Amino acid sequence: MITLYGMSSSGNCYKLQLLMAQLRREYDWQEVDITRGENLSPEFLTMNDRGKVPVLKLEDGRTMSESNAILNYLAQGTRLLPEEPWARAKTLQWMFFEQYSHEPYIAVARFIRLFLPEDHPRRGTLDSLKAYGDEALAAMERHLARLPWFGGEHYTIADIALFAYTHVAEDGGFDLGGYPHIEHWIKRVRQQPYFVPMRGAQA
Amino acid sequence: MITLYGMSSSGNCYKLQLLMAQLRREYDWQEVDITRGENLSPEFLTMNDRGKVPVLKLEDGRTMSESNAILNYLAQGTRLLPEEPWARAKTLQWMFFEQYSHEPYIAVARFIRLFLPEDHPRRGTLDSLKAYGDEALAAMERHLARLPWFGGEHYTIADIALFAYTHVAEDGGFDLGGYPHIEHWIKRVRQQPYFVPMRGAQA
């Protein structure tokens, strides 16, 4: 059986929990509390020398990092990752968008607001994070006005990757009320078979 | 024939020129000068409503953005993108690393130093960009101490993605002399068949 190492309250880690639930696959989950530095233990650093979660470990000991790469590995050969070259690359397009233009603003704003003290200097970056995060949400909204899912006509791992931090964007100070197509998409993701919620997120 | 839209001095655009040269494939190149706002023309925005380069356009009009997604699309079925699931996902792992942990520091530092005025306020972020960029270079150095290429035993699009901004990292104030495995890897990339240099970069 494979092992996944992660912190359940992290959207990047939740992506993998959601995928595995929807694929009805069993796995061993090892909770790694990065707020207590468990990601910097010698044992963890042998798996990922940058101390980042999540990490996938196969039975033979091979390891992989980067949540969206792990999603691609685990979804291969399933309905959640298209085989057809164009559709597969469009799925990747949105997953690169998520890591470059979405997570660094929407997830980071959530982290600062939920986990850092009221007087922390990083709170001074929230206005800028909000502006860039709203640009990302606006791009998603325009896409969803044309197509039902990020990969096109079908629910894929691109939806899983984007759902993780979008559905808790309000934790970061974003108002999803201004993005009706995103709100509807969030409802439709929650209706997918074997959906599981993120631990600690509002239902 | 496919069309690629980009600015030749951008590493993200150069990735595609390098791949196509190494695949010996013909394409139409359309230069888009973002310093003159050509990426914000109505025509360009119909292809990518976020105004980002590069963009791939197929003969039938379909378009794709995100340089690393385009690399995956164009390299499918070639020696530069492994078919075997683990190797393919490891290639993606480093491409997500490139977009999340490398490009936002190493490419952005280069942009600020090369293109913004001496008194621009963004120059105040250079120390921070340098620190994070050096973390990314250190992670690459550790990997290259163990394996010859980022995908493992063979040159892949992960090497192309990382080469684009690493080989011009000194433009951003990074000293590659401290990373001997990276320096050696850069030489080996340059020796790959049908290598082409980035326009405007030192040979």
State which H helix or E strand residue B55 sits in.
Answer: strand B55-57
List residues in chain B touching A: CB distance below 8 A: 49-50, 62, 64-66, 68-70, 72-73, 76-77, 85-86, 88-90, 92-93, 95-97, 99-101, 103-104, 135, 139, 142
Chain A nearest-CA residue for B48 = A139
Nearest of B5, B110, A102 to residue B16 by alpha carbon: B5
Tell me the average pLDDT of chain B: 96
What secondary structure letter does DSSP report for B177?
G
What pLDDT is attached to residue A110?
96
Phi and psi based region of residue B66 (left: phi greater than 0; alpha: psi -120 to 50; beta: remaining): left
Angstrom CA distances, B105 to A92, A161, B17, B183, stand at 22, 23, 22, 19
Q: What distance in Å separates the CA atoms of residue A16 and residue A73, rounded to the nearest whole number?
A: 11
CB contact under 8 A, A68 and B135: no
* Nearest chain B CA: its distance from A45 CA (Å): 12
Q: How many residues does chain A have?
A: 203
Q: Which of B68, B96, B102, B103 to probe the A interface (max A CBs under 10 A)?
A: B96
Which strands make up the sheet holding A63-65, listed edge to edge?
A: A28-31, A3-6, A55-57, A63-65
Please return the burial class of B59, using the count of CB atoms within 10 Å of its CB with bins 0-12, 13-18 and 19+: exposed
Kindly report, residue by residue over B187-197, the tens digit of the pLDDT. Answer: 999 999 999 99
Angstrom CA distances, A21 to A84, A187, A193, B64, stand at 24, 18, 9, 30
Say if CB B189 and CB B163 are below 8 A apart: yes
Low-confidence ranges of chain A (pLDDT < 70): 200-203
Q: What distance in Å separates the CA atoms of residue A142 and residue A185, rounded to the nearest whole number?
A: 12
Report all structural domains of chain A as residue ranges with CATH numbers, in order of start.
3-75 (3.40.30.10), 85-190 (1.20.1050.10)
Say if CB A39 and CB A51 are below 8 A apart: yes
* Nearest chain A CA: its distance from B189 CA (Å): 24
Instruction: For A32, list phi and psi in degrees, rounded to 5.
Output: -125, 110
What ipTM did this prediction achieve?
0.97
Please give the distance of CA A106 from its chain centroid, rounded to a whole number. 11
Prior bond of B54 cis (ω within 30°): yes
CB contact under 8 A, B66 and A142: no
Low-confidence ranges of chain B (pLDDT < 70): 200-203
What secondary structure letter does DSSP report for B173?
T
- The type of residue at B14 is Y
Handedness of CA A88, A93, A94, A100 (dihedral sign): positive
Taking contacts as CB-CB distances below 8 angstroms, the residues of chain A near B70 are: 89
* Nearest chain A CA: its distance from B200 CA (Å): 25
Chain A nearest-CA residue for B58 = A86
Taking contacts as CB-CB distances below 8 angstroms, the residues of chain B near A101 are: 50
* Nearest chain A CA: its distance from B14 CA (Å): 18
Taking contacts as CB-CB distances below 8 angstroms, the residues of chain A near B62 are: 86
List residues in chain A touching B: CB distance below 8 A: 49-50, 62, 64-66, 68-70, 72-73, 76-77, 85-86, 88-90, 92-93, 95-97, 99-101, 103-104, 135, 139, 142
What pLDDT is attached to residue A36?
92
* Nearest chain A CA: its distance from B125 CA (Å): 13
CB contact under 8 A, A49 and B92: no
Nearest of B16, B14, B1, B11 to residue B80 by alpha carbon: B16
SS3 of A8-50: the string is: CCCHHHHHHHHHHHHCCCCCEEEECCHHHCHHHCHHHHHHCCC
Q: How many CB atoms lie within 10 A of CB B145?
A: 9
Kindly report, residue by residue over B50-69, the tens digit of the pLDDT. Answer: 999 999 999 999 999 999 99
Global pTM exceeds 0.80: yes
Task: List, in sequence order, every residue forming a beta bridge with B55; answer none if it has no partner.
Answer: B5
* Nearest chain B CA: its distance from A51 CA (Å): 11
What pLDDT is attached to residue B199?
87
Q: What distance in Å separates the CA atoms of residue A139 and residue A179, rounded to the nearest whole number?
A: 10
State which H helix or E strand residue B63 sits in.
Answer: strand B63-64
CB contact under 8 A, B135 and A93: no
DSSP string, chain A: --EEEE-TT-HHHHHHHHHHHHTT---EEEE--GGGTGGGSHHHHHH-TT--S-EEE-TTS-EEE-HHHHHHHHHTTSTTS--SHHHHHHHHHHHHHIIIIIIIIIIHHHHHHHHS-TT-GGGGGHHHHHHHHHHHHHHHHHHHTT-SBTTBSS--HHHHHHHHHHTTGGGGT--GGG-HHHHHHHHHHHTSTT--PPTTS--
CB contact under 8 A, B68 and A99: no
Chain B nearest-CA residue for A132 = B50
CB contact under 8 A, A93 and B139: no
Q: What are the structure tokens assigned to A50, written together?
A: 């940058």
